[in-house]
Amino acid sequence: MGRQYFPTTDNGLLLWSRHLSDRINASPGEYGVPVEMAESYAVLHQAFAAAMPGVEPGVRSKCNVLSKNDARSALKSAARLIVMQVRATATVSEAQQVELGLTVRGRPTPIARPTDPPAVDIVSVSGHTVRFRLHDHGSNRRGKPAGVQGAAIFSFVGPEAPGERAALRFEGITTRTKGEVTFPMTVAPGEHVWLTAAWFNPRTQSGPMSAPVRAIIQFGGAMAKAA
């Protein structure tokens, strides 16, 4: 149990501890706590409760404060073991943990598979290198959509884009929205090339493919994409 589960004041800790002790001693088996552990905790709780009046104004002393602090440390150490025992018991529900005054650990929200394809823009063509930019489908907003880790990039060389994913060449993945693909020198200047991409999430689950975009391989120098 992390420190954040303990009340920050001694009086708050005393109330929290009394509730915990009463619950686990009334029904130790219900919370997966051995009887001996519950009884031992009750003793430590009583020791802390007995030490609290010694730090009240008028009777407070250095010795009393040290005694109270020692009792508090022993109580918190035992409480951590109690919580570990409770959480290690599969039959103890989250509702029962809340009944004990414990904070239930939050569960991470699963990141869904991307449902929309990216949009691919050809930025420039310089010789055999095609530079591209990815952005959210249906908008010109920069950056990746929420829940997207990166994109898988695919290419094709030919007059028409293929209708099947199997015909595409996998160029790699990128976690950025800008990148480039350099086609082999065997691709002649003037040939049509195509780029397409698919977002993937942190679990590497891929979404749908984008519409292919066309560029034309150049002899050299930067030129805009083909109309």
| Residue 225 pLDDT | 47
Asked if 83 contacts 32 with a C-beta cutoff of 8 angstroms, the reply is: no
106-146 pLDDT, tens digit per residue, is 666 678 899 999 999 999 999 999 999 999 987 777 789 98
More confident residue, 104 or 45: 45
Asked if 151 contacts 197 with a C-beta cutoff of 8 angstroms, the reply is: yes
Q: Where are the domains of the chain?
A: 3-99, 119-223
Superfamily name with CATH number, domain 119-223: Immunoglobulins (2.60.40.10)
Q: How many degrees, rounded to 5, is the angle at CA 209 between CA 132 and CA 116?
A: 95
- pTM (predicted TM-score): 0.53
| CB hemisphere CA count around 146 (13 angstroms) | 3
Mean pLDDT to the nearest integer, 182-186: 95
| Residue 224 pLDDT | 44
Q: In the chain, what's the furthest Cα-to-Cα distance?
A: 95
Mean pLDDT to the nearest integer, 3-8: 67
| Residue 180 pLDDT | 97
| Residue 222 pLDDT | 46
66-104 pLDDT, tens digit per residue, is 999 999 999 999 999 998 899 888 898 888 888 888 887
- Read off the tokens for 28: 């130790």
- Amino acid identity for residue 104 in this structure: V
CA distance 33 to 42: 13
Q: From the centroid of its chain, how far is CA 90?
A: 24
Asked if 41 contacts 26 with a C-beta cutoff of 8 angstroms, the reply is: no
| Residue 226 pLDDT | 45
| Residue 134 pLDDT | 96
Exposure of 221 by Cβ count < 10 A (0-12 exposed, 13-18 middle, 19+ buried)?
Answer: exposed
Q: Judge whether residue 223 has pLDDT over 60.
A: no
